[in-house]
Amino acid sequence: MPRPKVDPRFRRRVAQACENCKKRKSKCNGILPCDHCRARGVEDACRYSRYPRPASQESQLSRGLPNREFRREPGPLDPASPASSSSKQIDIPVSNLYSVSKDSQMLKDSRGKFIYVGDSASLSFLGSVRCTLRAAVGLCPFTNEPARNPMLEATSKIRFETVREPSIDLATAQSIAKEFFLAVSGILDFFDPPWLLAQLQDWVEQPSQRTKAKSAIIHLALAIGFQARAQGDVDELLSEQCFAFGRQLTMFNLIDDPSLATVQAVILITYHMMAACQYNAAFINLGTAARAAYTLGIHLHETNKAFGGEEGLARERAWKSLRVCDLFLAASLGRPPATTEAVSNIVWSPLKPSRDYERPDVAGQVFSAMFRICNVFERILVEVYAEKAISLELARSISQQHRQWTEELPRMLMVDGIDEPDAEQNHDASPGGFCLSPKQGSSIVTMAYYYSIVLLTKPFLTFRVHHASDKEFSKSETSSIMISLATYADACVNSAIKGIDIAYEYVFELITPSRQPLIVNSVFISALCLGLAFLDKSGRYAWSVNPLLNRAIKILVHLGKLNPHASRFAGICEQLKEAVAIYTTRRDNTLLSENDKSVRSIFGDLRASSKPQGYSESSVDHTENTQLSWSVPANESVIKPITPRSFNYNTFQEESLLPISGLSPTQIGNLPMDYIQSNGNLGDVQYPHPPDNSIDALSEYFLNQNIPLFPFASSLSPESHFDFQGMTLEPA
């Protein structure tokens, strides 16, 4: 009996059916795996097409567009003003961006469990850079790695439930307290050194007067200090013991009865876990700290001012420290922030030129440099990466906050207590011989500033690399739009360079802790931007990539002695450097080969003046006609590229005319790795290309590949479109 006809108004449809249901002409419910594939037991074979269904002809004609796959829908970041609505709407094709399945944002941790990693994470950007270089150079150690590496997650060596209190004398505690302030300077700002010194003395000399709250905070601070010094196994053991005992006191005594000490202690636990490469555990604990802060009203600026005095100042500084850890973790893992500026009711007002901001009261804490750069981070994560879209108007708005931040930086550092010019000279005069370090703290703040610019502008750099040779796109855009796009793309590379330089100075020229999670993540994502920038043929500057990659590798190798993430990132950067070298050799050899014919036509051909006996023009014609079909046999070696060191005048034209244009990118990708390694960088391999635009032959190839602008798109919006001045990179 036929199925009753359903009214079209009530017919349920899905946006796209899986490939199996398309072939079987079955009704698909649009999920992964769909019900039909699950019923047939072929869940693994349930796949969806990478290319979206083109817009209907009627909708294209109604918008005045030609019948092609140019499509743009209004996005959440489009300006709503009348001026913008009347401006020219430009549609940009982003058909080379591929869709991914619903598990594309899930990575496995060290235990094999799936965890979520969003677009702003360095591991997500690593996948995007790998896709780009795989299209440009084929197989190499960098591109041959899996697209989604497992996320390293360390584990605690001592369980906190049964640990006993470690024994630490006063001299050791004071020395380790100095390491604590070196480690957290510019990041955590709970209390001043004199306060901690007084607490340490009472804590050691009067154990019967200890409270659970203060004891937990002191143990956790000492754990971070031992972790930062890390001069041997003893420091590592004491760090684990202090951390486990401080965590025990926190969980057993402070969690069920939230207080300011609860917020401070859990934030210290979070920071220790970040430095120990336990990012997922740190993210969970930070959520606990955020909820405790909300419970106590610490997020409300007016409430903290009402408390006044030391209590109100401690509450405000705890909220600031919570914001710093929260936004750093959110940016590193690509996850939503746990805190927001909106709930604080703080107006971003300009600072007045006054010395009153040096260690101010509760009201002045809103002018902290780190606190304000966190507001910029939040806008980038919420308005750009959460929406998977960016426009020039939004970029200008955020960059305006950057400019205001830089203008007020000297006075804002006074609020954080890291702008005393004679602090190091008076170092020994401070109580206990330690104080906050201005140089270390200001370096961390400056690195956070450059890190935020990299996060904001790397979508522009990615877009320009993918469309460097798109002549149709370039012709359709106005010069002002292209200049603005190029400015933000160049800003990404410039900020990556500055961030690496500051990190290098911080690590090798200052007295710094052995572990610093913010530096590791910032340097790694900056190195990835440099590798991607090397493929940008439309750039206005010749970036010196190799020396900067060497600096980044040196930083990561140094920190990798105690940080598994830094050690792994250093190896990835080494592979990135090799991939860039392969691309460089191919590009230079292409330029040399194309220039050879022009040189011989102007200055003559030495080979033609010494033709051997039996030489005939037909043989030359035959050779030229067969070059396009020539390929390298598997048992023959590839000709080495012509470089200044290997240049030979007698064989120059002989080598430049060898038939080496037959290898396609696919053939290169299919070559075995031992063959690639035994023949250097494969710099001699050329591609068939027309003479007039041969220089862009390589880039034209990988621009046609499926490279994501935002590396991992969501299942509801698998593709992206770019918009400038009303043009938005947004879900299709």
- Specify the CATH number for the domain of residue 27: 4.10.240
What type of residue is 132?
T
> How many structural domains does the chain have?
3
Does residue 704 fall inside a structural domain? no
Alpha-carbon gap, residue 730 to 391, rounded angstroms: 9
Tell me the three state secondary structure of residue 480.
Answer: helix
Alpha-carbon gap, residue 30 to 611, rounded angstroms: 69
Residues 230 and 251 in one domain: yes
Does residue 218 fall inside a structural domain? yes
Instruction: Label the pairing between strands 720-721 and 114-116.
Output: unpaired
Does residue 293 fall inside a structural domain? yes
Residues 135 and 210 in one domain: no
What type of residue is 532?
L
Q: Which of 596, 612, 646 is the last residue of a domain?
A: 596
What local confidence, expressed as pLDDT, does residue 677 receive?
44
Residues 218 and 338 in one domain: yes
- Which residues are within 8 A (CB) of 436 and not within 5 positions of it... i.e. 6 or more apart? 181, 185, 192, 193, 417, 418, 423
Alpha-carbon gap, residue 156 to 282, rounded angstroms: 12
Residues 201 and 307 in one domain: yes
Alpha-carbon gap, residue 635 to 627, rounded angstroms: 19
Taking a C-beta distance cutoff of 8 angstroms, is the pair 378, 341 a contact?
yes
Local mean pLDDT, 10-residue blocks, the chain (732 residues): 61 76 80 82 71 40 35 36 36 32 64 86 90 87 72 79 87 92 90 87 84 94 94 92 95 93 97 94 95 94 88 93 95 93 70 57 83 93 89 91 90 77 44 56 93 94 78 61 88 95 92 88 95 78 81 95 92 92 84 79 72 51 39 38 39 36 41 44 40 41 48 40 42 37
User: What's the Cα-to-Cα distance from 613 to each of 234, 618, 655, rounded to whole Å?
Assistant: 81, 14, 20
Does residue 110 fall inside a structural domain? yes
Residues 407 and 513 in one domain: yes
Residues 225 and 107 in one domain: no
691: preceding bond cis by omega (within 30 degrees)? no
Residues 270 and 199 in one domain: yes
Alpha-carbon gap, residue 129 to 528, rounded angstroms: 7
Q: Which of 564, 596, 628 is the last residue of a domain?
A: 596
What local confidence, expressed as pLDDT, does residue 374 receive?
93
Q: Which of 326, 350, 374 is the last residue of a domain?
A: 350
Residues 132 and 252 in one domain: no
Taking a C-beta distance cutoff of 8 angstroms, is the pair 477, 467 a contact?
no
Q: Is the dihedral of CA 606, 610, 616, 620 positive or negative?
A: negative
Q: How far apart are the first and last CA of the chain?
A: 41
What local confidence, expressed as pLDDT, does residue 103 receive?
42
Residues 339 and 454 in one domain: no
Residues 40 and 134 in one domain: no
Alpha-carbon gap, residue 563 to 554, rounded angstroms: 14
DSSP state of 157: S
Choose among 702, 689, 226, 157: nearest CA to 468: 702
What local confidence, expressed as pLDDT, does residue 444 receive?
92
Other CB atoms within a 10 A radius of the CB of residue 712 amount to: 23
- Which residues are within 8 A (CB) of 119 and not within 5 positions of it... i.e. 6 or more apart? 334, 385, 388, 710, 711, 712
Alpha-carbon gap, residue 369 to 418, rounded angstroms: 10
Question: Residue 116's beta-bridge partner residues?
Answer: 106
Does residue 715 fall inside a structural domain? no
Does residue 334 fall inside a structural domain? yes
pTM for the full predicted model? 0.70
Residue 4 main-chain phi, psi, to 5 deg: -60, 145
Does residue 460 fall inside a structural domain? yes
Taking a C-beta distance cutoff of 8 angstroms, is the pair 186, 429 a contact?
no
Taking a C-beta distance cutoff of 8 angstroms, is the pair 398, 379 a contact?
yes
User: What's the Cα-to-Cα distance from 279 to each of 219, 270, 303, 517, 573, rounded to whole Å?
Assistant: 21, 8, 31, 10, 21
Long-range contact pairs involving 703-707 (C-beta distance under 8 Å, separation at least 24): 703/96, 703/466, 703/467, 703/468, 703/469, 703/470, 704/96, 705/96, 705/131, 705/135, 706/50, 706/96, 706/97, 706/98, 706/131, 707/96, 707/97, 707/98, 707/128, 707/131, 707/132, 707/135, 707/466
**Domain span holding position 254:** 165-276+278-350
Residues 111 and 170 in one domain: no
Residues 143 and 215 in one domain: no
Alpha-carbon gap, residue 406 to 369, rounded angstroms: 9
Does residue 727 fall inside a structural domain? no
